Structure 1
Amino acid sequence: MYLPESRIDGRNRLIRQAELMAGRREARPTRRPYPKPKLHTALHFPLPMPSASLRLAVIGAGAAGLAAARELSREGHAPVVFERAAAVGGTWLYAPPATASDPLGAAATHSSLYASLRTNLPRETMGFLDFPFAAGAAGSEDPRRFPEHEEVLRYLDAFARRFDLLQLVRFETEVVSVRREDAGRWAVTSRKLGDKGSGEEEVYDAVVVCNGHYTVPRIAAIPGVNAWPGKQIHSHNYRVPEPFLDQVVIIIGASASAFDISRDIATTAKEVHIADRSAPVDTCEKQPGYTSTVAKLMLKLQIDRALEDGSVVFQDGSSIKADVIMHCTGYLYDFPFLGDDSTVTVDDNRVDPLYKHVFPPEVAPQLSFIGLPWKVIPFPLFELQSKWVAGVLAGRIGLPSKDEMMGDVKAFYSKLEARGWPKRYTHNFSNYQFEYDDWLAAQSGHPPVEEWRKQMYAVNAKNKKDRPELSRRVG
């Protein structure tokens, strides 16, 4: 839940101080903990004349697609944005869940929002670098520091209107395929939702993929679950707690969404058990913040197996009879419109190969991806990635050679392996998002991310860790 001023302790004075700095940039860049990145001035790829306005396809009109459309337009290009929904917002556009016949799948539902969801980041940190997400701004209705999801959607809509981006968007239009043609151009086939034809094919100079990564559910493998008589659902299709009245619910996952949804469901369920594969035995107990009049909220070890009698057995040998297993197990990167000629594959949620998580070296810069990193402040990162891509496509910013980019990708993978991170954490930026942001800023000739934003993010993260029962969280 929202943390009122009366509950803010000494650690959070830093947040209040940072608020005073919101909207102001440091007079001098902060000292970098790493060498100043090298700017590549020599171009190693075929492009039209640098002064030419490129016709570009942007796939998706969520926060990433809107940021890309604005930066590409600022560079003098002509972006066309394809959006399946009838409005901008992407994952922040609330929609009904999938049908009851598909509780584990994405079906036709793009959004993963549930009704009570509020941001897990202070709104001041979330805003684009030159368009503050301020309480009291025109159109704002929720003044809280951690506002409801409707407030974020209002902010994105205001951003799109402020920079005249809506005219660039083809709503209720899906991209069916993206095919590489001669000279590095791309044939994009799209069609209106509901149309049964093959669609319309158009040729673009480059494609920028901004389709998000909170739509295709990742499902946990549970031995015996096919014979288990209970109900399974993925958090993608969770909306309200009422259907779980008086039920025993097991939630699989240890991310922000698992803990947030568990607390939401605990208001109606009989019991809620969070199955966390990393939980030590001595933490398998009732979680704080709940009285005896509220559902029991327990942290358990990973599920070992499910049985035909309705029982679910955990790795410590304990078991319970449950009505529902909810998979809060994350999502899969998915680009169904791309073929092999994109040179990109997805293996255990690693989009490979991508130079700096954006450009496939073989076809750069005519194909790029905005918004793949997670465990980040998303909107500023999207903006900085978009500035970089737009500048490269304009011929104003250079890229290394294909071999150099591939060498950088391999070196990055080696660092992940040395750290012991699994492949599926390739785009997890929890340890270095601001180094990455500042690298992008330097490439684009933009000041680094404001110090107050970094400090507020760090203090908020500590506060969530120390007081999870007092903080509404979203994954």
Structure 2
Amino acid sequence: MPTAQPPTTTFPHRSIPKITRIAILGGGPSGIAALARLLKFRPTHFPTIDLFEQRNDVGGIWNYTDETSPLVQYHGEDAEPRLLLPLDDSRGRLAREEGDIPVLVRGQGKHGEKERQEWEEEEWVFPSPIYPSLTANLPKQLMEWGDWPFGREVDMFPGHREILQYVKGYFRRLGVREVRRGGRGTGMPAYRDGDDGTGDKREEREEAEHKHDGVTAWFGKVVREVEKVPVEGREGGEWRVVVGNVDVNVGGDKSDDSNKGEGEERYYDAIVIASGRYTVPYIPDLPGLKEWVLAGKGKRSVEHSREFREVEEKYKGKRILLVGSSISANDILRLLLPLAPSLPIYQSMRSPTLPKSNEILPVPTISHLDPITGDIHLHAATSTRYCTIDPLTSEILPPAPAPASTAITTLSSIDLILFCTGYLLTAPFLPTTHYSAPSPRGTHIPHLLLHCLSSADPTLARLGLPYRVSPWSIAAGQAGVLGRLWSRNLALEEIEAVDQEMGREMGREMEVDVKWEGREWGRKVEGPGRERGAWTHLLTPPRDFLFLERLAGLSKLADGRDEGRDGAEVRRWVGDYDDWSMYLRRVRMLLGEVSERYNKAVAEGRTIRELEEIGLGWEEVMRESKSGGGGGEEAEVEVQVEVKGDGAVI
């Protein structure tokens, strides 16, 4: 299905209507960043702001769960397994139709504090894609919001528990009203009479604690529909949003009348979609994959990285083929080794690299699977497309020789295929023909300005799309620009001009030549059939710095017309070249060196919390860059990103 084109008459292109009501869809870091920045424009602007989150609290996927959403599901010993694989031609089908699917947990609710002992015996849980030992892949100094630093006691690469605590702390300091409906599906006590035992109504008690009239965070709410509807006398119409309770609108016992309902309609002037990008897994459309699983009669299976958990019984003794070579793929591979120590693990990748140990054998990509013999046939090995930049000469080094294991053409007796192949973008509440719905292959959102603002309707925005970046800072910067646009302190034409300028500077072609601080950073993508839009939201350094500079420039431009604001959302990244912002940039470019030094220190038994502890403090980094002894970009910089078969980056 082709991507819908934006309408030319639905909305007056140069006009921003008066915006008083805003809905934020999602309570993860991007949604919280949007809420925090929009609150800064009150009380003059935006008297009504509602945030809707399907989970029981803020944090999004950082709310770890033991539960997973398996790709292969068995319902009874003799029942044929159900495969949740997007194997049809429109590979974004799951992303467009299903979205995030919760799991009904029997027994005591698992995610509450100890004092909440009287929970219902059933709880809807939205499985998280994170695994128990997952840590951030950026140092906390590059993750944090400028106005809410991580504590000095937090590890330099925080674990998911520390990250969730940080996000919740940032949200709670905003002081907005929080509403949770008691009972099943909320993780909250079921006060059937509305009394919490103290004589107070729960909603009344929460309302008395908030600081912002008209601003509410609604938890346990699923957004079912979002559409623009005409309104007499209002140019451009308004947004109709249908929300419902988790246990009413998602899953549940279909014979139970209490689970039926259409949801509640609400109306807004502007929408911020902040529903994340790590929900619906991407599985390559491999010939014979479904038949291979079914013919195995329970002895063959497929998984996606979103359901990986470090459980030895799950992997012990199995012959495993891991597909993918991204950061998460290599991290999971490292964790798999002690779980399946007696067997080599095969790693299928587009450009096999030399094996780092005898326990991991890189092999080419999968061609097709034979369901009868169980053999997995591989493509002929291709030359590696990975290269690095020489840290001294800045020359692009030739690729390394192909490993011997790439001569393998067939794998036999594989028990498990573990796909670490990324995710599809999702917006199940938008019609599939909507001009801001994900592309048919689920790789990108078309028709956006600044990677967030709909070019067809500037009252619709989506945060959290750029990747290989410092995502929270970018989301905050984008939200700051949205607030200035919607408060009419910034013109749409000014945003369009900056977006066009970025297109010229960064390049949106498949071959890119970017200059930054006198250095050239090249990227070349080979191979036919790449979907150009798949690269739309990729902003590897120094692109992310350039983007933050443009966001800051727009904010400062608007703030000159509205005293009292200073573009603080991204100021820490875009100050003078001799200050803290330049230090952060250089640390970002040195990320490989940061990780190497950190891992070495941890292996020595040290706990590392600050960059100074591994010799990368402000003085060391800035002194090296000024002396010309290797510069702030001293570490090797990976200039090639692997591409999925449909063109999406993994």
Shift of residue 336, structure 1, vs aligned partner: 1.0
Q: How does 1:338-357 map to 2 (within 5 A)?
A: 338-339=430-431, 342-347=434-439, 348=441, 349-357=443-451
Task: Pick closer, same or farther for the CA change 1:403–1:377 going to 2, 3 Å.
Answer: closer
Distance, in Å, in 2 between the alignment partners of 1:298 and 1:412 is 40
Distance, in Å, in 1 between the alignment partners of 2:327 and 2:346 is 15
Root-mean-square deviation (CA, aligned residues, Å) is: 2.9
Contact 2:61 2:130 in 1 (8 A): yes
Shift of residue 464, structure 1, vs aligned partner: 4.7
Contact 2:68 2:127 in 1 (8 A): no
1:273 and 2:323 matched = no
Task: Pick closer, same or farther for the CA change 1:162–1:403 going to 2, 3 Å.
Answer: closer
SS of the residue aligned with 1:151? helix
Structure-2 residue corresponding to 1:93: 63
TM-score (norm 1): 0.79
SS of the residue aligned with 2:361? strand
Distance, in Å, in 2 between the alignment partners of 1:309 and 1:238 is 27
Contact 2:142 2:470 in 1 (8 A): yes
Q: How does 1:272-311 map to 2 (within 5 A)?
A: 272-279=345-352, 283=354, 285=355, 287-288=356-357, 296-307=359-370, 308-311=372-375
1:456 and 2:587 matched = yes
Task: Pick closer, same or farther for the CA change 1:56–1:406 going to 2, 3 Å.
Answer: same
SS of the residue aligned with 1:153? helix
SS of the residue aligned with 1:131? coil
SS of the residue aligned with 1:415? coil
In the TM superposition, what whole-angstrom CA distance separates every residue of 1:36-58 from its partner, at most 9, and x where no partner exists? Answer: xxxxxxx922321xxxx611000
Q: How does 1:106-255 map to 2 (within 5 A)?
A: 107-108=101-102, 109-136=126-153, 143-165=154-176, 167=178, 168-182=216-230, 183-184=235-236, 185-195=238-248, 196-228=260-292, 229=296, 230-242=300-312, 243-255=314-326
Shift of residue 407, structure 1, vs aligned partner: 6.5
1:45 and 2:15 matched = yes
SS of the residue aligned with 1:261? helix
Task: Pick closer, same or farther for the CA change 1:258–1:178 going to 2, 3 Å.
Answer: same
Percent identity, please: 25
SS of the residue aligned with 1:159? helix
Structure 1 or 2: more helix by fraction: 1
Task: Pick closer, same or farther for the CA change 1:337–1:410 going to 2, 3 Å.
Answer: farther
In the TM superposition, what whole-angstrom CA distance separates every residue of 1:112-171 from its partner, at most 9, and x where no partner exists? Answer: 1111111111112110121112333xxxxxx32112111100000000011224632100
Contact 1:123 1:134 in 2 (8 A): no
Structure-1 residue corresponding to 2:35: 69
Distance, in Å, in 1 between the alignment partners of 2:434 and 2:376 is 43
Task: Pick closer, same or farther for the CA change 1:190–1:237 going to 2, 3 Å.
Answer: same
Structure-2 residue corresponding to 1:390: 483
Equivalent in 330, 340, 343 of residue 422 of structure 2:
330
Distance, in Å, in 2 between the alignment partners of 1:115 and 1:406 is 39
Structure-1 residue corresponding to 2:552: 441
User: Where do 4+ consecutive residues of structure 1 move more than 6 Å?
Assistant: 401-414, 465-472
Distance, in Å, in 2 between the alignment partners of 1:333 and 1:232 is 21
- Higher relative CO (Cα under 8 Å, sequence separation at least 6) belongs to 1
Task: Pick closer, same or farther for the CA change 1:297–1:470 going to 2, 3 Å.
Answer: farther
Letter in 1 for 2:554: Q
In the TM superposition, what whole-angstrom CA distance separates every residue of 1:407-455 from its partner, at most 9, and x where no partner exists? Answer: 7798799732444554212111114111111211111122361222222
Task: Pick closer, same or farther for the CA change 1:341–1:155 going to 2, 3 Å.
Answer: same
Structure-2 residue corresponding to 1:4: none
Shift of residue 397, structure 1, vs aligned partner: 1.6
Contact 2:452 2:462 in 1 (8 A): yes
Structure-2 residue corresponding to 1:261: 332
1:321 and 2:413 matched = yes
TM-score (norm 2): 0.59
Task: Pick closer, same or farther for the CA change 1:164–1:189 going to 2, 3 Å.
Answer: same
- Consecutive unaligned residues in structure 1, runs of 5 or more: 1-42, 137-142
Distance, in Å, in 2 between the alignment partners of 1:207 and 1:470 is 45
Shift of residue 107, structure 1, vs aligned partner: 3.5
Task: Pick closer, same or farther for the CA change 1:444–1:410 going to 2, 3 Å.
Answer: closer
Larger radius of gyration: 2
Task: Pick closer, same or farther for the CA change 1:91–1:276 going to 2, 3 Å.
Answer: same
SS of the residue aligned with 1:273? strand
In the TM superposition, what whole-angstrom CA distance separates every residue of 1:255-303 from its partner, at most 9, and x where no partner exists? Answer: 11111111111111133221111225xx2x3x24xxx8xxx22222212
Equivalent in 430, 439, 442 of residue 540 of structure 2:
430
Distance, in Å, in 1 between the alignment partners of 2:265 and 2:152 is 43
Contact 1:362 1:402 in 2 (8 A): no
Contact 1:83 1:170 in 2 (8 A): yes
Task: Pick closer, same or farther for the CA change 1:81–1:439 going to 2, 3 Å.
Answer: same
Contact 1:232 1:327 in 2 (8 A): yes
Task: Pick closer, same or farther for the CA change 1:410–1:371 going to 2, 3 Å.
Answer: same
Q: How many residues align?
A: 410
In the TM superposition, what whole-angstrom CA distance separates every residue of 1:176-197 from its partner, at most 9, and x where no partner exists? Answer: 1111022331011100111221
Letter in 2 for 1:323: D
Structure-2 residue corresponding to 1:363: 457
Distance, in Å, in 2 between the alignment partners of 1:92 and 1:123 is 15
